[in-house]
């Protein structure tokens, strides 16, 4: 997609929504969720977060990419795990079954990258209860994928945790934790297979689960999107690893790297920088590249100059 199209959409990128007449609103880092009866209206905005901070500038079409990519993977992984998705009535909106969220993120890592690498580089050899062997390099492949759970914070930073801590605190019982761990690892295996078909490596990702009114645990939120996952290009992985060069990747890690170059890692006393328009356009282009690479489909954006009104029209037949 041409930069000119992305640039023209900058003023219409969706930072927040106000559809409270459709249900009670909960605002997450990226999604505005409206609870209506036994359903949720999930609006994926164009907000972007990093280091557990929501940046002040939004990214054109990012919400459309995430919403449609999540729907694509919910369908693609439905044979592995049931999910909460009912329908996608609008480019930015999904209707879902209302669930009680599990306050744990099931993070699965196949490679030593991102947060795991930063912890390893700092000298840690135990991550979320998982021992890490000596002598690993950045982006090294683990012998088998590992689970590194994190607490799901309502506000502030999500924190690394472990199976032992989760059980000791009574967050989940042993049977439920083991069931969800097995599901997360099975989803990662399927995601790895799907990525390989597109010439990609699924490096790491997170899965979130919720409990339905009938007591079943299902996959919620999103799955295998660039906000929750990291991908490397398979064709260049081995050579770049051998040369200790950065991997070609599709994720929002480059946003974190840009912020770190500006002196920001979300730590106390640091000032959150503003994204330039040029960088916002670059981020949008990368999200679209990931969508098209992962799905093999051409991204067809809705360029409405009033996306909130478009959403209302799209939802009219679904919220009566």
Please check whether residue 130 lies inside any domain of the structure: yes
Please check whether residue 46 lies inside any domain of the structure: no
pLDDT at res. 153: 62
Please check whether residue 57 lies inside any domain of the structure: no
Please check whether residue 280 lies inside any domain of the structure: no
- Do 264 and 272 form a contact (C-beta atoms < 8 A)? yes
Please check whether residue 221 lies inside any domain of the structure: yes
- Do 33 and 42 form a contact (C-beta atoms < 8 A)? yes
CATH number assigned to the domain comprising residue 191: 3.30.470.20
Please check whether residue 195 lies inside any domain of the structure: yes
pLDDT at res. 194: 96
pLDDT at res. 68: 96
Please check whether residue 264 lies inside any domain of the structure: no
Torsional sign, CA 16, 22, 27, 33? negative
pLDDT tens for the chain, residues 1 to 320: 678 999 999 999 999 998 888 888 999 899 999 998 999 999 999 999 998 899 999 999 999 999 999 999 999 999 999 999 999 999 999 999 999 999 999 999 999 999 999 999 999 999 999 999 999 999 999 999 999 999 976 555 578 999 999 999 999 999 999 999 999 999 999 999 999 999 999 999 999 999 999 999 999 999 999 889 999 999 999 999 999 999 988 878 889 999 999 999 999 999 999 999 999 999 999 999 889 999 999 999 999 999 999 999 999 877 76
pLDDT 10s digits, 206-231: 999 999 999 999 999 999 998 899 99
Please check whether residue 2 lies inside any domain of the structure: no
pLDDT at res. 3: 86
For the chain, the domain total comes to 1
CA neighbor of 65 nearest in space, from 289, 311, 307 = 289
Sequence-ordered strand ranges (E) for the chain: 24-27, 31-36, 39-44, 49-50, 53-54, 85-90, 93-97, 100-101, 104-111, 126-127, 130-131, 141-147, 150-151, 200-211, 217-220, 229-233, 249-250
Tokens of 166: 């989760």
Q: Is 271 helix (H, G, I), strand (E, B) or coil?
A: coil
Domain that holds residue 237: 101-250
pLDDT at res. 52: 85
């Amino acid at each position: 997609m041409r930069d000119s199209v992305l640039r023209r959409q900058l003023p219409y990128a969706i930072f927040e929504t106000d559809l409270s007449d459709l249900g009670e609103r909960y605002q997450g880092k990226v999604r505005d969720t409206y609870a209506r009866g036994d359903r949720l209206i999930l609006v994926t905005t164009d907000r972007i977060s990093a280091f557990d901070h929501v940046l002040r500038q939004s990214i054109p079409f990012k919400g459309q990419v995430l919403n449609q990519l999540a729907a694509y993977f919910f369908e693609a992984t439905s044979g592995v795990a049931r999910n909460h998705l009912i329908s996608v009535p609008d480019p930015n909106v999904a209707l879902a079954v209302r669930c009680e969220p599990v306050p744990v993120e099931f993070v699965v890592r196949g490679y030593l990258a991102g947060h795991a690498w930063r912890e390893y580089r700092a000298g840690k050899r135990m991550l979320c209860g998982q021992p890490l062997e000596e002598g690993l390099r950045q982006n090294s492949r683990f012998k088998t994928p590992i689970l590194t759970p994190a607490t799901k914070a309502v506000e502030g930073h999500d924190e690394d945790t472990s199976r032992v801590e989760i059980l000791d605190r009574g967050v989940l019982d042993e049977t439920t934790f083991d069931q969800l761990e097995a599901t997360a690892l099975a989803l990662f295996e399927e995601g790895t297979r799907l990525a390989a078909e597109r010439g990609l490596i699924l490096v790491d990702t997170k899965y979130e689960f919720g409990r339905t009114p009938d007591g079943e645990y299902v996959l919620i939120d999103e799955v295998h999107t660039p906000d929750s996952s990291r991908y490397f290009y398979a064709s260049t992985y081995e050579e770049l690893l051998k040369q200790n060069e950065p991997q070609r990747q599709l994720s929002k890690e480059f946003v974190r790297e840009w912020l770190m170059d500006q002196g920001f890692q979300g730590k106390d006393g640091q000032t959150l920088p503003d994204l330039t328009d040029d960088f916002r356009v670059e981020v949008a282009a990368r999200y679209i590249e990931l969508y098209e690479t992962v799905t093999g489909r051409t991204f067809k954006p809705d360029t409405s100059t009033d996306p909130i009104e478009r959403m209302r029209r799209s939802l009219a037949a679904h919220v009566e």
